[in-house]
Amino acid sequence: MHFDILNFLLALVIGIGVGTVSSMLGIGGGIFYVPVGVLLFGLSQHVAQGTSLFVVSVSSISGALAHHKHGNVASNQLRFLLPFAIVGALMGSLLAFKISSAFLKVGFGLFLLYIALSIIWGTARLKFNQEHR
């Protein structure tokens, strides 16, 4: 694997930006790391998604521990929830490699479209609540 220190530093700076923004918006960084990997660093759609999953894993472990400390994890339900989540994640990731990069991009585009609309919807509700307090 070719290592380029400039790209590494650029990715680090972008990581700081994405971390800042996603913590402000209350959303995970995955939706940002995949586009940055594909559009800026020229990774393939599949590699960008794998790389994003690493970052999501690392940040959600520290996040989950913090939430657990504050008693905000419904831990008695996890043993019911996790088996389905695990099977889903395994099937989803196997499915991702049955799909061509082009179709995966279309799927990711639709997914982002849904996120943009849900952010807009959430913001409209927030603004409405602020004005009618």
Smallest distance, another protein to C-beta of residue 40, A: 10
- Residue 125 binds another protein (CB under 8 A): no
Q: How many residues bind another protein (CB under 8 A)?
A: 109
Residue count of the chain: 133
Q: DSSP labels for 107-122?
A: HHHHHHHHHHHHHHHH
CA triplet 8, 110, 117: central angle to 5 degrees? Answer: 95
Contacts to another protein from residues 6-35, by CB under 8 A: 7-9, 11-31, 33-35
Contacts to another protein from residues 39-98, by CB under 8 A: 39, 41, 43-44, 46-64, 67-68, 70-78, 80-82, 84-97
Task: Give CA separation, 120 vs 11, 57, 90, 133, in Å.
Answer: 28, 27, 31, 20
Residue 117 tokens read as 């609309």
Smallest distance, another protein to C-beta of residue 132, A: 14
Of 6, 79, 107, 132, which one interacts with another protein (CB under 8 A)?
107
Smallest distance, another protein to C-beta of residue 61, A: 5
**Closer residue to another protein in complex, CB, 91/133:** 91
Taking phi over 0 as left and psi of -120 to 50 as alpha, with beta for the rest, 52 belongs to alpha
Residue that is written with structure tokens 């990997």 in the block: 37
Smallest distance, another protein to C-beta of residue 9, A: 8
